Amino acid sequence: MQELNKLARDRGDWLGAAKKVVPQYLDHFVSFSRADQQFLWPTTKESRILDAGSMWGGITIPAAQYHKEVYAVDKTVETLEFLNIRAEQMNFHNIHTVAASLRNLPFSDNFFDLVILNGVLEWVALDEDVILEKQWKRAGRGLKLKQNKKYSENPTEMQLKVLQEINRVLKPGGSLYLAIENRIGYIYLAGWPDDHMNLPFICFMPRFLANFITKLFLHCQYRTYVYSISGCRSLLKKSGFPNTIFYGAFHHYNQPSEVIPLELISFLKKKIFTDKRWQLKFLSKLIPAGLLKYLSPSIICLASKSFKSDYKPRIKQIFQKAKLIRNNCPNFKAVKWDSRLGNNLPVNYLIYTDNSKIPTYFCKISRDKQSTDTLKTEAINLESIGLLLKGKELGLNIPRLVYYGTIDEITFLVTEYIQAEKSKFNFNSRLTSQNLKKLDKEINLAIEFLSKFQQYTVKRKVNAVQYLLSAIEEQKKKLEKNGLFTEEVKTLLNDLINDVKKFKRVSLSLSSIQGDFDFFYNIMFGKDGLKLFDFEHYESEGPPFLDFITLIFNPILVSYEYQKKGLSLIEILDKPNLKNYLKSWFAKYSELTGLPKEMLRLAPAIAALEQKTKNYPASRDPDSFPIYKQRAFNEMLSLKLNLL
């Protein structure tokens, strides 16, 4: 740590120093997503909060954006020094670091509006520093601790004293934010190693038996107590917190993809396990929906020291100020929902405003207070596409913008919620006949949708040859500028130019481009057809090829055969079961749009060139587009499909 702190201070670059000295720990503190749940806290921009057990500041820094003061307490002086350096270099002047024990906090009574205890309570009964990455053996093989350490108090007593001390420093209406593993979480019941001792089944055993096991195999006491929801509620009540609100966190509180009020978990079970590992999907089938709320892998709790706490999360406050909900809206509930990681990307929430089990709104909030361009762009684009499709049936299948703005320094975007499910195609699988059959049905629906979308948003018609040749010349300049105009690419582009010149009499309709027309996040399916989401890459005018090729080729480019087996694109496309589907998809698009099949043979190359030379916002890594990647770009540039 001393090396890290010295390098960070000398260079004036905390992140560069961390990448050099502790690259294995970056996930602990760089990502703002560790504080995604802060909009569930009952705080305001004037609140004073305490991050108890702050370590590197993974929650401290993002929370400091939206609160008046943040105190960070930890017993490790070196990590606090790093946090100070980081805060200074990031221009945070409202962070105060304090080296202290959580059992004896150096603050007066009734000082804080909120105290954060994130993954800390289970460790307070261990009187030694633990770095899991260093002290864990192989998964499921135990944790190396000091042997024969003597303790005068049992873990529960030590945890109670910490909670009572936190209660002391909280204001009368203040709250504790507690995040901890669930003692009876389904992953631990199924044999996942405990997150602390790193042994399977240990956390839900009777304490005396767990202690016997750890003494036998690890030569140390079992002291990292975690709790079920009822156990947690009882512990908090004994500590002076009579009011508790619980959430289930899936699949870990540190960076959960979903944080859900207990009463909504059973209704969201199917969505929770979408895109999860096959083991979790299999396990989910064994758990009755009504039991799942007790078995979430982690627990998040907001506990108040007041008997009559009017719990009003931050997200509810900004919804009230935006006049999106009326009066107190007693049935308001917020669910932190699956969000892409990245500090310059928003965190997603589902918003419920009545007793219905279907959300009213979908909300995106800026993780980084300074990175609002993504939401602003999407708001502008949603408004634009909404006007274009007003009065048309497709308009009902695209989210309607309800609100975009900044309230209490929080920038957020709200759309009406559209009920839909993700594609049934398994992106991480082989292109089997069964998988392709699922894909065929969905691609046909998407082609029908896309052809209408392009028809309704046509801006003008141009001569295909003149337009495409001009575009290719501009794209060549960008490739040259970026050092990508190799001899191979030069030859392939010359071939493409010669092929394009054959279509002198073809006119091309320029229409709106969604820009990310794929099944992974943006194309979903409802009872009444296809739904299309996320318009941050929308363009009001352009050629029709990119959205179509993205739709067809993304599933192929992320398939097992291409990513894991290493087959070339030509080898995959030449498989008889896929070749026939490709011909039918291109034929259908040709029929619906009037574009000649002969021209569509060139669509992969034209789309790949367009994707490779676009300007991308800082919030999006262009390599996250399968077509953009260098290998795919080279192969698609040379691709001329046989569609006859």
pLDDT of residue 426: 76
Six-digit token pair at 34? 């560790």
User: What is the residue-averaged pLDDT of the chain?
Assistant: 92
In a domain, residue 528? The reply is yes
Judgement on whether residues 448 and 536 belong to the same structural domain of the protein: yes
In a domain, residue 302? The reply is yes
Last-in-domain residue among 416, 444, 471: 416
Six-digit token pair at 129? 């520093």
Question: Can you give the CATH number for the domain in which 124 is found?
Answer: 3.40.50.150
In a domain, residue 426? The reply is no
Judgement on whether residues 192 and 293 belong to the same structural domain of the protein: yes
Mean pLDDT of 274-300: 80
In a domain, residue 283? The reply is yes
Contact 253, 180 (CB under 8 A): yes
Low-confidence winner among 350-354, 385-389, 428-432 (lowest mean pLDDT)? 428-432
Tell how strand 48-52 and strand 460-463 pair up.
unpaired
Beta bridge partners of 366: 346
- Residue 72: left (phi > 0), alpha (psi -120 to 50), or beta? beta
pLDDT of residue 285: 75
Question: Can you give the CATH number for the domain in which 538 is found?
Answer: 3.90.1200
Judgement on whether residues 408 and 459 belong to the same structural domain of the protein: no
Judgement on whether residues 246 and 382 belong to the same structural domain of the protein: no
Judgement on whether residues 364 and 496 belong to the same structural domain of the protein: no
Contact 391, 491 (CB under 8 A): no
Six-digit token pair at 237? 């009540």
Q: How far apart are CA 170 and CA 176, in angstroms?
A: 8
pLDDT of 551 above 50: yes
Q: How far apart are CA 44 and CA 408, in angstroms?
A: 8
Q: How far apart are CA 613 and CA 150, in angstroms?
A: 64
Judgement on whether residues 507 and 401 belong to the same structural domain of the protein: no
In a domain, residue 423? The reply is no
Judgement on whether residues 510 and 491 belong to the same structural domain of the protein: yes
Domain holding 334, by residue range, is 320-416
Q: How far apart are CA 350 and CA 336, in angstroms?
A: 7
**In terms of pLDDT, which residue wins out, 305 or 360?**
360
pLDDT of residue 167: 98
Contact 349, 589 (CB under 8 A): no
In a domain, residue 453? The reply is yes
DSSP one-letter code for 253: S
In a domain, residue 73? The reply is yes
DSSP one-letter code for 571: H
> Using 50, 70 and 90 to split pLDDT, how confident is the model at 462?
very high
Six-digit token pair at 223? 């002291």
Percent of the chain residues past pLDDT 90, beyond the cut: 77
As for how many domains the chain has, the answer is 3
pLDDT of residue 365: 98
The residue behind tokens 């300049």 is 477
pLDDT of residue 501: 95
In a domain, residue 10? The reply is yes
The residue behind tokens 């569930």 is 40
Q: How far apart are CA 518 and CA 532, in angstroms?
A: 9
pLDDT of residue 644: 55
Pick from 352, 345, 347, 348: which is nearest to 316 by CA? 352
| pLDDT tens digits along 114-167 | 999 999 999 999 876 555 445 444 444 556 665 567 788 999 999 999 999 999
| pLDDT tens digits along 284-294 | 778 888 899 99
> Using 50, 70 and 90 to split pLDDT, how confident is the model at 425?
confident
Judgement on whether residues 299 and 214 belong to the same structural domain of the protein: yes
From residue 241, alpha-carbon distances to 77, 154, 172, 293 in Å are 30, 21, 11, 22
Pick from 366, 627, 604: which is nearest to 516 by CA? 627
pLDDT of residue 427: 75
Judgement on whether residues 397 and 439 belong to the same structural domain of the protein: no
Judgement on whether residues 353 and 225 belong to the same structural domain of the protein: no
Question: Can you give the CATH number for the domain in which 342 is found?
Answer: 3.30.200.20
Contact 364, 417 (CB under 8 A): no
Judgement on whether residues 389 and 487 belong to the same structural domain of the protein: no
pLDDT of residue 562: 78
Low-confidence winner among 50-59, 265-274, 312-321 (lowest mean pLDDT)? 265-274
pLDDT of residue 506: 94
Judgement on whether residues 400 and 256 belong to the same structural domain of the protein: no
pLDDT of residue 147: 56
DSSP one-letter code for 38: G
**In terms of pLDDT, which residue wins out, 286 or 373?**
373
DSSP 3-state assignment of 519?
A: coil
How many contiguous H segments (helices) and E segments (strands) does the chain have? 25, 18
Last-in-domain residue among 311, 332, 364: 311
Low-confidence winner among 18-27, 423-432, 508-517, 609-618 (lowest mean pLDDT)? 423-432
The residue behind tokens 């996040």 is 521
DSSP 3-state assignment of 21?
A: helix
| pLDDT tens digits along 205-243 | 999 999 999 999 988 899 999 999 999 999 999 999 999
